[in-house]
Amino acid sequence: MENGFDLLEEKVRKAAELVKRLRKDNSGLEEQLGEGKRRLADAEKRLSALEKDKGSSADLNKEIELLGGEVKTLRHERDEVRSRIAKLVGVLETLD
């Protein structure tokens, strides 16, 4: 009987450690998502400003293309982080 309690105690300890790690990971991912959102908003503002001031300059066109690519990359990163957070939340919900 004592061995059964030891096994249960160990499983509970492991589950608690997993929950702590997942919560820490979730917090980190939420911070990354927030930073990504800020970077995306900044890039969109710069892109918008450049489009308003768009002239015939090749440098402006290159900058616009670069910012458009950056916006696309940031949106992709945001979607990946959002997906990872959703998975972590799913795991946390199964522990309740």
Quick one: pLDDT at residue 31?
92
Quick one: pLDDT at residue 56?
55
Rounded distance, CA 78 to CA 67, Å? Answer: 16
Quick one: pLDDT at residue 75?
92
Long-range contacts of 22-26 (CB under 8 A, 24+ apart): 22/88, 22/91, 22/92, 23/92, 25/88, 26/85, 26/88, 26/89, 26/92
Quick one: pLDDT at residue 89?
84
User: Tens place of pLDDT for every residue, the chain, 96 residues?
Assistant: 578 778 888 888 998 898 899 999 989 999 999 999 999 999 888 888 877 766 556 677 788 889 999 999 999 999 998 898 888 888 888 875
